[in-house]
Structure 1
Amino acid sequence: MSGFYNDAFSQKTVSSTSLLTSRKKLYIILCIVGGFAILSSTISKNPVLPLFAERLGVSGAELGFIASASTIPGIIISLPAGSLSDLIGRRKVILISLTIFATAPLLYFFVSTAWQLSLVRFYHGFATAIFGPVAQATIAELYPRRKGERMSIFSSATIVGRSIAPFLGGTLIYTSGILSVYLAAGVSGVMSFLFGLLIYNIFKDGKSRSQGSEKSIFSGWKVLLGNIHVILISYTEAIARFTFGAFEYFLVLYAEKVGLNSFQIGLIAGSQLLTTLTTKPLIGWLSDRTRRGYLIALGLLITGLSLLLTSMADTFLQLLLIAICYGLGFSMVTSSTAPYVSDLISPDLYGSAMGLLSTIMDIGQTLGPISTGFVIAELSYAGGFHFLGLIAFFSSAIFAYIDFLRKS
């Protein structure tokens, strides 16, 4: 095992009480690191990025490229980063990601052209791409029997940071200007790095695969890619993110189209996020005590139904209820996929597995708004939401059938 748990807490002189205290301390620090790190990452793009790009004279296709630049590292680096953590230990790889969180915001102060902004966004994207899967692998090791609950609480901690970011960013832009936002991003990134140093200095890495096994990174990938159920679960996560990326963007435009004001639109968008934030720990706890496959299939059904009903809604209350239902369904899927994948593979592949899940997830979230945008352009908002809803329904049916066959 390459994470913290094995060597950090396995000494015979360590009492069971000390073991629990050390594990809890590590977990709490990891949640704090996640909150600060994601706050730093999110505030650097929402709502400041389009305004900063506009000030540089960026428009059209360039703006779209800049917006997507930070998502590309998630596709190309998450799996190798997770595998690297299996080999050399989690804490070293986490510290690499936190170094990027701490340094990337400072680079925005030197940006004066569109291509420079794209490069900085690309560099910044490596932070989340590396940190996410390695943190999830660490939690899976720390809490093998409560991984669903603990992964979900950690995810909620990052959502808190993501939720604070647009409000704090908007306030700073209004009171102090655009560059003050990147100063705040830098402070938050440095805070995550400092808490990360606590992890690095206090806790040890377990025995790495490079020292205890002849297995290579590629052999681990072969095992994962040969596990059809791991791929299927990762696919359901990608579909959830596919619909989420599109729903989050086009719901705002649709609500504006049917005549809602900006305050009502904000409440609708916030309700979806709040639902996900508050229900994730409970659903994660539930997934540890029931079949995770049931929750994934039901979650996709709820998201599909919510998406199909969106095009029929034209009032504030209707769209508010739909956003809440969608948030619940999304929470059911994303609270169950990572722990389910970790149930199916050995602990020495946790990093690789979480990296694969993150890679496929990022592909889905990147393609969602693009694909749905084409459908809406050719048809209508109703066609776009129906497209998303039918994909969710179809995916739920396929997953439920294959998962049932596996259990049988």
Structure 2
Amino acid sequence: MAQTLGANPATIGAIAAASTLTGILVSFPAGLLSDYWGRKPLLLLAGVVFCTAPLAYLLVSTPWQLALVRVYHGLATAILGPVAMAYVTDLAPTHRGERLGWYSSFTLAGRAIAPIVGGLLLTISTWQSVYVVCAIAGILALLGIKLLLNQTQEKNRHQEARQKLALNRIAIGKIFYHRTILLTSLVEAAQFGAFGAVEAFLPLYALSVGIDKAAVGLVFSSQVGVKVLARPFMGRISDSHGRKQQIILGLLLTSVSMFLFCQVKTVLLLTLISGVFGLGIAIASAATSALVADLAPANSRGTALGIMSAIMDVGQASGPLLLGLLLMYTSYQISFSVVSGLLLATAVLFTLTAKDTSAKSEV
């Protein structure tokens, strides 16, 4: 759409980054406010944005209008991400890893299905119809959110939050200085930075070695499929065997696969490595959000998950920028190896300094 509006490559990049910037700025305040007001008001706000943002695209006539709509649309995911995870952890005093895994798997499945549905609509109709269908999906999501909690529960939560506001402020300060929460957030940033880099540049590498576009789609399908299937199972394992070892294993797998990506030139090997990369992300991310929820005080869980989401967005936005800069001066092999090394360094740092779930009372 940006290209049809006459945007140049630099402007297209800025438009693409707009929603990520919203996530960086909004995730933490959204989580914080959900601890004070309750989860439902914030989730309803996200639902309203999901309904209205797709229709706003129909009014766009210039690239910068598109960028503003992208910023507005980014509010929905920036709010929904940490607040929905906090809502799930509120409902799951035990088995948090597994239940967060199911939540993440359904989210990934939706993200995988959406481009397929959009592509089918574009073959039989106009691009405007895609946004209309997205708005309808947003309305359905909003209706679903309204059914999550009744007003009595929300009223009680609101009153409780007021009574504990002073305690919340103390807990928030402790979260910002909580080593393991911040390190776990760094892990998320490193992994999703690598994911963003792979998403942006692996297709270009594959095309450069003679792999056709259809096969590139297969490479990424293996990654998404593994993540969707593995997340709940890996979450269950983290519930029963601890979070820290699983996070380290996930980081090591993503580091190794990141290194191997540009050492091979066949579709089969790239597909296998992409699956291992997706498995590494699934193994670690199934435990990271659960670990943060374990360590955070119950009245500041949304805040902690909001901080993690904001740091993760910084990493996901930085990954493609870093790899792009490296590729200006070095080869694919060296550039991907540098990102692999950063993942390995993160694993070593986390191994040496983070505490496991047994440190739950640490805050």
- Tell me the TM-score range normalised by the shorter chain: over 0.9
- SS of alignment partner, residue 85 of structure 2: helix
Going from structure 1 to structure 2, the CA distance change for 1:325 and 1:120 (only over 3 Å counts) comes to: same
1:267 has 2:230 as partner: no
Going from structure 1 to structure 2, the CA distance change for 1:203 and 1:354 (only over 3 Å counts) comes to: farther
Match 2:266 to one of 315, 328, 336: 315
Match 1:96 to one of 45, 52, 57: 45
Inter-partner Cα distance in structure 1 for 2:191 and 2:169: 28
Deviation at 1:380, TM superposition (A): 1.3
The residue number in structure 1 matching 2:280 is: 329
Inter-partner Cα distance in structure 1 for 2:222 and 2:43: 32
Cα-to-partner distance string for 1:4-28 (whole Å, 9 max, x where unaligned): xxxxxxxxxxxxxxxxxxxxxxxxx
Q: How many residues align?
A: 357
The residue number in structure 1 matching 2:2 is: 53
Deviation at 1:210, TM superposition (A): 3.7
The residue number in structure 1 matching 2:346 is: 395
Scaled by the length of structure 2, the TM-score of the pair is 0.95
Query: Do the aligned partners of 2:171 and 2:297 also contact (CA within 8 Å) in 1?
Result: no
- SS of alignment partner, residue 277 of structure 1: helix
Q: How does 1:111-260 map to 2 (within 5 A)?
A: 111-201=60-150, 204-205=153-154, 206-208=156-158, 209-215=160-166, 218-260=169-211
Query: Do the aligned partners of 2:161 and 2:299 also contact (CA within 8 Å) in 1?
Result: no
Going from structure 1 to structure 2, the CA distance change for 1:190 and 1:214 (only over 3 Å counts) comes to: closer
- Percent identical among aligned pairs is 37
Query: Do the aligned partners of 1:92 and 1:200 also contact (CA within 8 Å) in 2?
Result: no
Going from structure 1 to structure 2, the CA distance change for 1:229 and 1:299 (only over 3 Å counts) comes to: same
- SS of alignment partner, residue 288 of structure 1: helix
Inter-partner Cα distance in structure 2 for 1:146 and 1:291: 11
Deviation at 1:277, TM superposition (A): 0.6
The residue number in structure 2 matching 1:30 is: none
Moved over 4 A (4+): 200-203, 404-408
The residue number in structure 2 matching 1:8 is: none
1:81 has 2:30 as partner: yes
The residue number in structure 1 matching 2:328 is: 377
5+ long unaligned stretches in structure 1: 1-51
1:297 has 2:248 as partner: yes
Deviation at 1:219, TM superposition (A): 3.8
Deviation at 1:387, TM superposition (A): 1.2
Deviation at 1:200, TM superposition (A): 4.5
Query: Do the aligned partners of 1:220 and 1:352 also contact (CA within 8 Å) in 2?
Result: no
Query: Do the aligned partners of 1:306 and 1:326 also contact (CA within 8 Å) in 2?
Result: yes
Scaled by the length of structure 1, the TM-score of the pair is 0.85
Inter-partner Cα distance in structure 2 for 1:175 and 1:214: 54
Inter-partner Cα distance in structure 2 for 1:57 and 1:309: 38
Inter-partner Cα distance in structure 2 for 1:165 and 1:369: 23
Cα-to-partner distance string for 1:15-44 (whole Å, 9 max, x where unaligned): xxxxxxxxxxxxxxxxxxxxxxxxxxxxxx
Going from structure 1 to structure 2, the CA distance change for 1:98 and 1:405 (only over 3 Å counts) comes to: closer
Inter-partner Cα distance in structure 2 for 1:220 and 1:130: 21
Inter-partner Cα distance in structure 1 for 2:21 and 2:354: 31
Deviation at 1:297, TM superposition (A): 0.5
Deviation at 1:226, TM superposition (A): 1.3
- SS of alignment partner, residue 241 of structure 2: coil
